[in-house]
Amino acid sequence: MKMTYAAALEAAMFEEMAHDPRVYMMSTSVPAALQDAYGPVRVKRMPISEATMTGIAVGSAGCGFRPVVHWRSVTFAFMAFDQVVNQACKIRYMFGGQRDFPIVFRASYGNGTRSAAQHSQTGYALYAHLAGLKVVLPSGARDAKGLLKSAIRDNNPVVLFEPGRIDPLEEDVPDDDDAVPIGVADIKRTGTDVTVVALGYMLYAALDAAQQLEQEGIQVEVIDPRTLVPLDVACIRRSVQKTGRLIVVDESAPTCSMASEISAVVAEDWDCCRALRAPVRRVTMPAVPVPFSPPLEDFVLPDAARVAEAIRALVAYT
């Protein structure tokens, strides 16, 4: 069945709430169909206080529930950063693993949506830095549904990041109970000349570039990591050992980014170092707030042309 990203996430919520009565949702705006089906106790429309929702989620998870908190935007998620950093991430460890804390936090990020600087941030690298937290970044509707199901069933806190500009795209989503495993990357396109690891919405720029370069005889392997923590390091390293070249495409700023982390896990591996035929390359946005001006926003964000340029440079490197 063809579904948008948002519809796939809602389908996952319907299925998991039917499967497990401990699952409930909180958000400042809730899907009407979901609330009609499960009532206001399990589908709670909350005041605009991300900190309150997050604190309630941590406490109720410790009491045996499985909350899903929809922060809506990563910008709003920062209002609850203390509850995540000092409570959700650490509390299972501080209890010595004697109690599970299954929580899902959902947040969309808005690059490319003409939302200006305060609503155009990725944020996932900040959360990936927090020990005790899993971070997933589905790039399409199929993975969004499957990863949300896995996140709800996980006994640890998980943050699911949703690319804000992806929703108009539809994808075939299976009408079954399949969950996508956390920590497993997906090779979207095989190739032998260069490995491109593309995060979230950047997958589409990478695939467009790979299709263009096929006409030039360049075979690009494109990997969608899907999960940032835990990262499927083995998949990425195997690909780099085969191609000898790595480009990471990330629409965050480069400093302390996931692009930097992925580059590091390749650089630290001796087999990858021996296989590399060119320096690792990051394609990111610059370290600037995202402009509101559409031409300027398009200028700072990575696109297929920039990815293709980076691939050509690495293939030509001697």
- Known catalytic residues are 119
**DSSP string of the chain, one letter each residue:** -EEEHHHHHHHHHHHHHHH-TTEEEEESS--HHHHHHHHHHHEEE--S-HHHHHHHHHHHHHTT-EEEEEEEEHHHHGGGHHHIIIIITTHHHHTTTSS----EEEEEE-TTSS--GGG----HHHHHTSTT-EEE---SHHHHHHHHHHHHH-SS-EEEEEEGGGTT-EEE--SS---PPTT--EEEE--SSEEEEE-TTHHHHHHHHHHHHHTTT--EEEEE--EEETT-HHHHHHHHHHHS-EEEE-SS-STT-HHHHHHHHHHT-HHHHHH-SS--EEE---SSPPPSSHHHHHHHS--HHHHHHHHHHHHH--
Tell me how far apart the alpha carbons of residues 154 and 133 are, in angstroms, rounded to a whole number: 11
Asked whether the beta carbons of 141 and 116 are under 8 A apart, the reply is: no
Q: Which residue's structure tokens are 């804390």?
A: 101
Alpha carbon 137 to its chain centroid, in Å, reads 1
Tell me how far apart the alpha carbons of residues 125 and 191 are, in angstroms, rounded to a whole number: 28
Handedness of CA 123, 129, 167, 38 (dihedral sign): negative
